[in-house]
Structure 1
């Protein structure tokens, strides 16, 4: 069982006792807007989502982000075990802007074995630049932006892809989404969110 502690946080596996905090986070429209699933409408729906994503998952790095003072979940963080090594995270709105997610992600990265995770990827909706700021603080570098018809919400979303090479292979590229999605661009710095994003240089 993976448990990681920092100055302010405990990263640990979710339990069924985390349901109230998990449900509140998932049902917040400001949080769910950037999540790849619809908000659970009932406590039973939230429990099913918690069970599917965390309680029944064998993955080692799907963790609740908890305050050390209370051991209550204020968010989640995970790294996919597939070839993408995708870093994902979310946090309750009351705890935004306090550096908690950067602290949690830095601790998780320090714990991940480089041999199993030689690189990490992460994506964020261009309308959620604060998520991208976390990626930048982790040392991840911007690669490209692509347009995806996001499911199951079936909405068009521009995602920015970031990459972190952890094994010294700084020539590595992760072009999977570039190849999958025909509408893609490399934005010129500074990265911006506006109506012209689809017209930036390819």
Structure 2
């Protein structure tokens, strides 16, 4: 997660999609966040799994409890996390705005892969962002993460550059405001 997003009136009412409810995280989501952090498959392109016990000691009671961060909920079941934050200054990637760019991130458990939940939740959060923040968004993922690169394209992100970061080639894209996917 990058720098916190400052948004008046956060949190919004839950965002509803065809199948999902996007809502702020609660303490009940903590175990799911710990599972995400410790899963080697989920973190293959994110530097590897983290030690679950260490994460349990350091993770807040309510994980990702800040503006721009939402849990994707399917019939009361955690199927992922989606968030907007400010890209940290000094990191590679050309910002489409003056100052830190708005950056989209998401993470889903393996059991939720292949069902369209990432696309659905990211599209809903981007639509909310278009209406309330009105600025372009960026997305950065490893080139080796073909599924994430493909999703970026389906969400309206266009590649603007590639660079080396965290020991891997990164794909960096920008999505203008108002792209409907």
Q: Which has the higher helix share?
A: 1
- Correspondence for 1:79: 84
**Paired residue secondary structure (1:39):** coil
Asked whether the equivalents of residues 18 and 72 of structure 1 are also in contact (C-alpha less than 8 Å), the reply is no
1:130 aligns with 2:141: no
TM-score (norm 1): 0.69
**Structure 1: runs of 5+ lacking an equivalent:** 151-155, 169-202
CA drift at 1:38: 5.1
Higher relative contact order (CA 8 A, sep 6+): 2
The 8 Å contact of residues 21 and 72 in structure 2, kept in 1 or not, is answered as yes
- Structure 1 pair 53–157 and aligned structure 2 pair: CA distance change class (3 A): farther
Q: What is residue 21 of structure 1 aligned with on the other side?
A: 32
Q: Which of 51, 55, 78 does residue 45 from structure 1 map onto?
A: 55
Distance change >3 Å, CA 121–CA 36, structure 1 → 2? farther
CA displacement at 1:33 relative to structure 2: 2.1
The 1:51–1:145 alpha-carbon spacing in structure 2 relative to 1, beyond 3 Å, is farther
Q: Distance in 1 between matches of 2:52 and 2:44?
A: 14
Corresponding position: 1:166 with 2:173? no
User: Aligned partners of 2:48, 2:70: CA distance in 1, in Å?
Assistant: 18
Equivalent residues of 1:125, 1:159 under 8 A apart? yes
The range that moved more, 7-16 or 114-123, is: 114-123
How far apart are residue 40 of structure 1 and its match?
A: 3.5
1:66 aligns with 2:73: yes
- What is the CA–CA distance in structure 1 between the aligned matches of 2:86 and 2:61, rounded to whole Å? 18
**TM-score, L = length of structure 2:** 0.77
* 8 Å contact kept, 2:40–2:49: no
Corresponding pairs, count = 156
